Structure 1
Amino acid sequence: MTSLRDLRSLPYLEKWLIMGVILGIVAGLSSLTFYFAIRGVEYFLLESVIGLTVPRPLGEGGSLIFQFHATRYYLIPFVVAAGGAISGLLVYSLAPEAEGHGTDAAISAYHYREGKVRWRVIPIKLIASAFTIGSGGSAGREGPTAQLSAGIGSMIADLMGLTPEDRRRAVAVGIGAGIGTIFKTPIGGAILAAEILYKRDLEPDVIFPALVASAVGYSIFGSIVGFTPIFGNYTGSFDPIRLPLYAILGLIAGLMGLFYIKTFYGVHDTFKRVRLSPYLKPVIGGLLTGTIALLAPEVMATGYGWINLLEYEKFTEFYSLLPVLYLLVLLPFIKVLATSLTIGSGGSGGVFAPGMFIGAFVGGDVGLLFHFLFPQLVPSIAPFVIIGMVSMFGGAAKAPLSVLIMVTEMTGSLQLLPGAMIAVAISYLVTGNQSIYRSQVPTRRESPAHASEYEQALLAKIKVAQCKLRDIKVSAISPVEETISIMMRNNFFSIPVVDNDDNFLGVAYMRDILGKSGDVGKFVVRGVQTVMRQSSLEEALETMSRTKARWAPVVEKGKLLGVLIMEDAMEVYREELVKLKVGERMSEG
């Protein structure tokens, strides 16, 4: 049986099937640990100390019948500040990179640190985030889960002696599997693993193991907490007449996404500039967030339960010092500020769940407006709440495809996909190059992880002389039937033609000789572009592209030396690329 150390020698599919299972177990167990850690802190700080009841979503045992209650309401700011104090003490004493929203740190590790994550980040991130969220701080649990799974994946890759490239892959798979597991969205999580790293690109090599890992993690997590989608199952229908309204929602959600990004990093950078002890900053952020929560307690923690109540229009369940209509309009902006203060001050938690909350309430507000204007066309705001989540965060995170799938899985709203697709596309366009994840790079070309593939002009350096040349040709006096046979045997649609002294005459094309008879020389096309042994691989591939063939004739002093086929050229390219990467690692080590 293959030992774990032998994994590195296995082919890609076998290796990453095994690694996918391992990383899926990691995602499932770490998600369960984190989930119950948050529930434990919530019970101690929110329920026992404040006497606070918070709504839970349908997929986590919640109900649409809810009565807000807080015995010691005035303690909210102090409890949130206490959570920030504990989080700051842990993070800044033991693992400063555990501050912030987790996913961005994991993305940064992928691009800039060959997937390396210090082991101590894992327990510190778990405990610090549990106290930040469990005390009522405005943050999500997906970012910490992503960093937990990614960090353990990095450790496992090191223990198994895998390459830096495989370590990076393990980190990316950990991000997707962790988020997909904690949200109970295995398909969306798998796609997120490939999409979250870039603003306008995908990492295709991680999709296969991410599918395996997300499926395993989801199965483990769901077996304990249940498989019901977090927000239940949407049972409404899709009306294509509402598509223009969803497009307007996409535009508004995109603008809100920009506001979220600018405000979050504005607050974050302000806290960085302020000359105060880093231990004190999360306390201030928590105290300010708790003060905001006195006005609107809906901003506390993840807010999933409030999203469900909004979706089903349970407006009387909301609690605020403001009239309900004013509260609904202001909540997206208040949530942006509360999240920025909680995480931007140095607290530990994710930005994904707050983004869903903001998007849901933007969608709810737009849905209410359209309901008042067109009551027959918009009898319910539920589809706008769901599409608001997709479009706002899909654009802000530069992950439209995965967020689209994830929200569909979280709400069971497959029928809303056409409207959600249009809205998120518009939001993605509006947000432009802005992203809530600063460590994202535009494409693979800009990633240091792929620098050797793009910055080195390998194709221009490799010569045709380094490649194998095939002796595939026909004489001008060869019969057409024999020529067709040779072409079919080599899977060619054209073939070089020579005279008796191997002088290159030109090319015969299948289309010209099919159904014909006689010598092939009568059908030669002359003046075809050729390459020499000292030509670069780049020139050879350009020649193939121009002649629309998978081979190029290699000719010197008029004589055909052979043909270079694309497969042989790519084999040499891959070998040189491996040598280049090995050389870079040796120079770094």
Structure 2
Amino acid sequence: MEDIPGIKWRLQSDHETLIPLLIVAVLIGVLTGFLAVGFRYLLLVASRLCWYDPLDIIGGATQLPWIAVILIPLSGGLLVGPIVSKLAPETRGAGVPEVIHAVASKQGIIRHRTTFYKILSTVVSIGSGASVGREGPIVHIGASVGSSVAQLVRLSSEWRSVFLACGAAAGIAATFNAPMAGMLFAVEIILVDFEISYLSHIAISAVAATVVSHQFLGNLPAFDIPPYTLVSYWEILLYGLLGIIAGFVSIAFIKSISIVEDTLNRFRIPSGLQPAVGGLIVGLLAVKVPHVLGVGYQSVNLILTGKMALDIIAVVLVCKLAATSFSIGGGFSGGIFAPSLVLGALLGGIFGVAVNHLFPEWSAAYPAYGLVGMGAIVSGVTMAPITAIFTIFELTYNFEIILPLITSCITSLIVVKKFYGNSIYETKLLKKGIKIVRGHDVNLLRSIHVTEYMDRAYERIGVGTGLLDLIAKARESTYPHFVVLNDGDELVGMLSMRDLKYCLSDMADLSTIVVAADIMTQNVHCLVPADTLETAFEAFEGKHISTLPVVDPVNRKKVLGILKKSNLILAYNEKVLKTHIFRNQRR
């Protein structure tokens, strides 16, 4: 860590850096908390200007002439258009994909001006009635604060990413009064690949932001939470079915946003006018169904308090999905987290009414299903089930809801993984040609071949090498990963300490009878010289391996060398650094 000009911190070791870095984390949490509070008040002002009562947009819309209901979102789109197309394109949409990209390939750097433009564009978007959430923008704003503070005090790229995540966690925590959910959001969605020691910094930022939010907005939950009771353990099966349905609705939601974006581009509508088109559609829907306007928390509260009829719930679900798709797909600045909660509540409400009718003896009232449905849709859309579970749990603090939540959230996630494969954030990045794996932009490795980083000298053993000799070789080796060859020097497997450890407890009995062929890994994934490091990265992902053999493309039994996972990470970091330097030179 570099010395900070103007601040007399002499940081020489991890022990000495702990307190100063925690102070920075608290500062980021406090700043994000104040920005979140100010952002909420600005949203209230903007909503009051457009709809009279910011706490009852539905009622305000019904009192306005139909032409005003159409023109207000349309005008909001016209105002937002120039911001998201020219002034700050990174403020378009939710903002979370941009934060993920900043961590993966921009060394945690977000432009300082992003905070201002994100607040401005989102206030106009939500204030004018666009069907978007405020959580995504708050994450983007908090991440921008964290990145800016880290840049200001000249921290390394690693700590820039950590403090960017601190700001993101603080944003979620301040919005929902849910510090645990904020912390898990940052870990599960933003960082993905992180050291456990960073968790304390992320947690303390979330706590600091929550304290600030409590001081100004009170210690009240974001929704009117109903009492929850698990009526019967048979009800778990119903929650599993709810999760399956939620998974398919999540896929429809993700795809509908992509379809809107593709359609607007296919008709070559200028990016500066696309939000206006989205606003026009929202306005037309709101004339008959005003529930589609804004964040949608009014509809959630109507579901959770049992005050919405089944026919209305069904209509609002379809129209809200369409309005959100046109709002986000059209380019309004706003998140998908809140719309996901709204869609989940509506879906759960419909499902709850149905099971109440079919199984009245062992099913809870429909608000309970609305509450669990919120978590299920968030889990499916973001593919972050732990965040979804803790978000709803922190709203209720009722342990009885844990089992239904886990069941619905995990089944929803499985459906999305099986039938679609990507979260809404990953989908957004993939449309830009950015592929993130474990928090890394693997596209950066597409131009590098494995031969540039593979080791041509590698340790090998014979297929008949005995257990005692294997242990001796492993003890002497600096990198105990061995290529196993037969008598013809052909590849037959790989052997590492992971394979050896299963024999160590029975050494006395196995030392004379076990050979390499008995314990080696036989089904080995191999690379060829023409493969890129992107292919290698994907091969390593999800597997407990540290080494891959590189073989001759003609004779795949002939080993040319090995590629270590550590060398792959080194190549990635070098590429990120080089890209960052060239980008700064162009500026």
TM-score of the aligned structures, taking structure 1 as reference length:
0.74
Aligned with residue 32 of structure 1, among 16, 32, 37: 37
Q: 2:127 maps to what in 1?
A: 134
Secondary structure in 1 aligned to 2:93?
Answer: coil
Letter paired with 2:142: S
Aligned with residue 437 of structure 1, among 409, 414, 425: 425
Secondary structure in 2 aligned to 1:314?
Answer: coil
Matched, 1:53 2:56: yes
- CA positional deviation for 1:544: 7.8
CA 451–408 in structure 1, closer or farther in 2 if over 3 Å, else same: farther
Aligned with residue 222 of structure 1, among 206, 214, 230: 214
CA 581–196 in structure 1, closer or farther in 2 if over 3 Å, else same: closer
Deviations for 1:126-184, whole angstroms, at most 9, x for unmatched residues? 01100100111100000110111111211111111111121122222222221222122
CA 431–578 in structure 1, closer or farther in 2 if over 3 Å, else same: closer
Deviations for 1:536-584, whole angstroms, at most 9, x for unmatched residues? 514389358615779xxxxxxxxxxxxxxxxxxxxxx999999878866
Q: 1:546 maps to what in 2?
A: 500
Write the distance in 2 (CA, Å) between the matches of 1:201 and 1:582.
Answer: 14
Q: 2:205 maps to what in 1?
A: 213
CA 13–577 in structure 1, closer or farther in 2 if over 3 Å, else same: farther
CA 386–526 in structure 1, closer or farther in 2 if over 3 Å, else same: closer
Q: 2:526 maps to what in 1?
A: none
Unaligned runs of 5+ in 2: 460-465, 483-494, 506-563, 582-587
Secondary structure in 1 aligned to 2:496?
Answer: helix
Secondary structure in 2 aligned to 1:177?
Answer: helix
- CA positional deviation for 1:119: 1.5
Letter paired with 2:347: V
- CA positional deviation for 1:529: 3.1
Letter paired with 2:248: L
Matched, 1:235 2:240: no
Q: Is the 8 A contact 1:408 1:417 kept in 2?
A: yes
Secondary structure in 2 aligned to 1:235?
Answer: coil
Matched, 1:426 2:414: no
- CA positional deviation for 1:346: 1.2
Query: Please, which moves more after superposition, 104-113 or 245-254?
Result: 104-113
Secondary structure in 1 aligned to 2:473?
Answer: coil
Pairing of 1:290-329 with structure 2 (within 5 A)? 290-315=283-308, 324-329=309-314
- CA positional deviation for 1:418: 0.3
CA 272–205 in structure 1, closer or farther in 2 if over 3 Å, else same: farther
- CA positional deviation for 1:330: 2.6
Write the distance in 2 (CA, Å) between the matches of 1:73 and 1:385.
Answer: 31
Write the distance in 1 (CA, Å) between the matches of 2:475 and 2:398.
Answer: 59
RMSD, matched Cα = 3.7
Percent identity, please: 26
Aligned with residue 394 of structure 1, among 361, 367, 379: 379
Q: Is the 8 A contact 1:201 1:443 kept in 2?
A: no
Letter paired with 1:17: L
Q: Is the 8 A contact 1:258 1:434 kept in 2?
A: no
Q: Is the 8 A contact 1:193 1:207 kept in 2?
A: no
Write the distance in 2 (CA, Å) between the matches of 1:355 and 1:205.
Answer: 31
Q: 2:355 maps to what in 1?
A: 370
Write the distance in 1 (CA, Å) between the matches of 2:96 and 2:36.
Answer: 14
Pairing of 1:437-456 with structure 2 (within 5 A)? 437-438=425-426, 439=429, 443-444=437-438, 447-448=441-442
Pairing of 1:164-179 with structure 2 (within 5 A)? 164-179=157-172
Q: 1:537 maps to what in 2?
A: 479
Secondary structure in 1 aligned to 2:334?
Answer: coil
Q: 1:382 maps to what in 2?
A: 367
Secondary structure in 2 aligned to 1:529?
Answer: helix
Q: Is the 8 A contact 2:226 2:305 kept in 1?
A: no
- CA positional deviation for 1:460: 6.1
CA 15–531 in structure 1, closer or farther in 2 if over 3 Å, else same: farther
Q: 1:191 maps to what in 2?
A: 184
Write the distance in 1 (CA, Å) between the matches of 2:440 and 2:68.
Answer: 48
Write the distance in 1 (CA, Å) between the matches of 2:254 and 2:10.
Answer: 41
CA 5–128 in structure 1, closer or farther in 2 if over 3 Å, else same: farther
Secondary structure in 2 aligned to 1:145?
Answer: helix
Q: 2:491 maps to what in 1?
A: none
- CA positional deviation for 1:413: 3.8
Write the distance in 2 (CA, Å) between the matches of 1:249 and 1:582.
Answer: 43
Larger Rg: 1
- CA positional deviation for 1:272: 3.0
Write the distance in 1 (CA, Å) between the matches of 2:201 and 2:128.
Answer: 35
CA 201–162 in structure 1, closer or farther in 2 if over 3 Å, else same: closer
Aligned with residue 75 of structure 1, among 64, 68, 72: 68
Q: 1:96 maps to what in 2?
A: 89
- CA positional deviation for 1:85: 1.4
Letter paired with 1:227: N
Write the distance in 2 (CA, Å) between the matches of 1:375 and 1:446.
Answer: 49
CA 229–581 in structure 1, closer or farther in 2 if over 3 Å, else same: same
Write the distance in 2 (CA, Å) between the matches of 1:405 and 1:121.
Answer: 29
Q: Is the 8 A contact 2:393 2:402 kept in 1?
A: yes
Deviations for 1:68-118, whole angstroms, at most 9, x for unmatched residues? 852434411101111111111333231111111111211121112222211
Write the distance in 2 (CA, Å) between the matches of 1:329 and 1:544.
Answer: 54
Pairing of 1:251-266 with structure 2 (within 5 A)? 251-266=244-259
CA 52–586 in structure 1, closer or farther in 2 if over 3 Å, else same: closer
Deviations for 1:427-461, whole angstroms, at most 9, x for unmatched residues? 00000113111238664275459989xx8999968
- CA positional deviation for 1:314: 1.1
Deviations for 1:184-221, whole angstroms, at most 9, x for unmatched residues? 211011011010137x8777454322111110001101
Letter paired with 2:333: S
Write the distance in 1 (CA, Å) between the matches of 2:344 and 2:374.
Answer: 4
Write the distance in 1 (CA, Å) between the matches of 2:325 and 2:173.
Answer: 24
CA 5–399 in structure 1, closer or farther in 2 if over 3 Å, else same: farther
Write the distance in 1 (CA, Å) between the matches of 2:165 and 2:367.
Answer: 33
CA 270–7 in structure 1, closer or farther in 2 if over 3 Å, else same: farther
Q: 2:77 maps to what in 1?
A: 84
Pairing of 1:396-411 with structure 2 (within 5 A)? 396-411=381-396
- CA positional deviation for 1:54: 2.8
Letter paired with 1:37: L
Q: Is the 8 A contact 2:173 2:180 kept in 1?
A: yes
Query: Please, which moves more after superposition, 200-209 or 97-106?
Result: 200-209
Number of matched pairs = 488
CA 463–532 in structure 1, closer or farther in 2 if over 3 Å, else same: farther
- CA positional deviation for 1:297: 0.6
Q: Is the 8 A contact 2:170 2:209 kept in 1?
A: yes
TM-score of the aligned structures, taking structure 2 as reference length:
0.74
